[in-house]
Amino acid sequence: MRIALLGGTGNLGMGLAVRFAQIGYEVIVGSRKFEKAQERAVKYNEVLKKLGGNSRVIGLQNEDAAKKADVSVFTIPWRHAFSTAERLKDLLTDKIVVSPLVPMERMGDFFIYAPPPEGSAAEKLAEILKKSRIVSAFHNIPAARFAKFDEKFELDVAVCGDDEEAKKVVIGLINQIEGLRALDAGSLAVSRMVESITPLLINLAIKSGSKDLGVRFV
């Protein structure tokens, strides 16, 4: 199975790219710019080598990454995600697309969840990518910690989707990553409740002066 991290040049993209490559998947890091994607692939492969793995990450423009991949993760800032989806939609037909998108706004000294009229970013993405198999996941991963590979964590990943088979594939992928436990949270409409945890985690971290926080359902 080939996994693309579209716009996967940030912390979440790096964390997922390296970990999926370590497990043995073919991984593509996508970017708007080919050069940027190439540069990040070199970086991720260096990290992989240091961790004792093989170079398995390639860098491509988002369009080519989407075309080649079986599963594409939208590791794109939410403000750009929907226009990117419009551009890529034909390339993603029938494919699994994972939304970790969390729309939020700053409000004074804290962050607030700012869902679109569709109810959640995942449902809006599904509206655009009508022919793709949308699953939402990875919203609550503390990205900066996740991009460090000596960091130990034990975190839950709530997974939502209306395509049960696609959801199972994504849950299977997540459960292969050490320290993550995937939980089926139900329909895609449940995404709004998972997305909204992320600004809360940021607020809690700001207030307590602590590191990035993730979540456990216990």
# of chain residues touching a second copy (CB under 8 A):
36
Contact between 204 and a second copy by CB under 8 A: the answer reads: yes
The contact pattern for a second copy, residues 48-87, with x = CB under 8 A and - = no contact, is ----------------------------------------
Phi/psi of residue 132, nearest 5 degrees: -100, 165
Of these, 79, 94, 105, 108, which contacts a second copy (CB under 8 A)?
108
Q: Which helix (H) or strand (E) holds 121?
A: helix 121-128
Is residue 148 within the footprint of a second copy (CB under 8 A)? no
46 vs 154, beta carbon nearer a second copy:
154
SS3 12: helix
- Using rule CB under 8 A, residue 213 touches a second copy: yes
| 192 scored as a contact of a second copy (CB under 8 A) | yes
Q: How far is the CB of 127 from a second copy (least distance, A)?
A: 18
Closest distance of CB 197 from a second copy, Å: 6
Query: With binding defined as CB under 8 A, does residue 175 bind a second copy?
Result: no
Residues 6+ apart with CB under 8 A from 16: 3, 5, 8, 73, 75, 138, 146
Per rule CB under 8 A, is residue 206 in the interface with a second copy? yes
Is 57:45 a contact under the CB 8 Å cutoff?
Answer: yes
Cβ of residue 134: shortest distance to a second copy, in angstroms? Answer: 17
Gap between the Cα atoms of 101 and 4, Å rounded: 16
Asked if 214 is part of the footprint of a second copy (rule: CB under 8 A), the reply reads: yes
Burial of 34 (0-12, 13-18, 19+ CB in 10 A): middle
Whether the CB-CB separation of 66 and 86 falls below 8 Å is answered with no
As a whole number of angstroms, the distance between CA 199 and CA 133 comes to: 26
* Residues forming a β-bridge with 2: 26
Q: Are 40 and 30 in contact (CB under 8 A)?
A: no
State in angstroms the smallest separation of the CB of 149 from a second copy.
Answer: 19
Interface residues with a second copy (CB under 8 A)?
107-110, 112-113, 153-155, 158, 183-187, 189-190, 192-194, 196-197, 199-201, 203-204, 206-208, 213-218
